[in-house]
Amino acid sequence: MNGGSIIEVSDLTKRYAGHTAVSNLAFTVGRGEIVGLLGPNGAGKSTTMRMLSGFMPATSGTVRVAGFDVFAEADEVRRRIGYMPENNPLYLEMRVREYLRFRARLKGLGRAQTRSRVDVVLAQCGLTDVSKKIIGHLSKGYRQRVGLADALVHEPELVILDEPTIGLDPVQIRAVRQLIREVGRSHTVLMSTHILPEVEMTCSRVMIMLGGKILAEGAPDTLQQVMSNGSPVIAEIAAPAADLQSCWATVAEVEYFDIAAGADGFHRCTLTPRGGVDLRERVFAVAHERGWALRELTRNRHTLEDIYMQVTRANEEEES
């Protein structure tokens, strides 16, 4: 895998009659990344993926995959993408091996290559035991694996998965996630989901999408750190409430504070910093200086779920 980006999206817009599904989207995905596209239903994730896969044209803007334009050089792009659409459509009347063989031939693999690749993906996706079964008779978890096997059969550089774990039971979800992680070791993966733990567990980078725009982006950890800046610090300090009050009022970095009485003489202070600074060291210094006992000092750390809620709520308020 050489470096550089495999997906370059610039200024991508998709307008349907009456509404804009995706507007001025721009992002890049580097080789070897596992990127999660996170957003509520109707955020434009599927539309974006359909445009990336070349199924649907953009109203304006360009998408390049491995340097090829998705629209003008569709065949080059399609050969490099393994795409599993939403709801994982399959020919239910076909047998697993027969289907994968058909798909491999369709994607231009030769006879010998088809045979060996189908065996490889059957083993990789844990389908060897059911290879002779009719797809329609398989459980949803197995069907999802067939979809994944199809996406992988021609050794694509990029795998695009639209809601790969939707409608599965927890055990199946774990199995499919595990599979995606394994696939991510050797492929670039772009997957969409509206399930938060999924991206936290599988993705190296997250893009939060709403109303056809990317609202926040970054590694799950960085995103958490960035969003945690400016979040309140909680300190439990043994001191009279009046002293605490006068003390925080003089600290310039504290924008506002809240003091609640706790058990055995401790007070629980919630301090909101000014300008997104980290207050923890300062609080410790103050407590040390004055000889107050300090038994808890934490900063609210946002989970991805908080960030998601925060970002989407902020956007809704902006619109209303």
Distance CA 1, CA 187 (A): 9
**Residue 133 binds other proteins (CB under 8 A):** no
When the beta carbons of 187 and 205 are compared against other proteins, the nearer one is 187
- What's the angle, vertex CA 187, arms to CA 90 and CA 127, rounded to 5? 40
Among residues 7, 27, 47, 83, the one that binds other proteins under rule CB under 8 A: 83
- Taking CB under 8 A as the binding criterion, the range among 104-112, 192-200, 235-243, 280-288 that sits at the site for other proteins is 104-112
* Cα–chain center distance at 290: 46
**Residue 75 binds other proteins (CB under 8 A):** yes
Neighbouring CB atoms inside 10 A of 98's CB total 16
When the beta carbons of 84 and 254 are compared against other proteins, the nearer one is 84
**Residue 60 binds other proteins (CB under 8 A):** no
Strand ranges, E, within the chain: 5-16, 19-30, 34-38, 60-65, 68-69, 81-84, 158-162, 188-193, 205-210, 213-218, 233-238, 254-261, 266-273, 293-299
| Tokens of residue 143, six digits | 């069907």
Among residues 107, 133, 280, 282, the one that binds other proteins under rule CB under 8 A: 107
**Residue 32 binds other proteins (CB under 8 A):** no
**Residue 79 binds other proteins (CB under 8 A):** yes
**Residue 50 binds other proteins (CB under 8 A):** yes
Distance CA 208, CA 184 (A): 20
Among residues 27, 96, 150, 286, the one that binds other proteins under rule CB under 8 A: 150
**Residue 87 binds other proteins (CB under 8 A):** yes
Residues that bind other proteins (CB under 8 A): 50, 53-57, 71, 74-75, 78-79, 81, 83-87, 89-94, 102-103, 105-108, 150
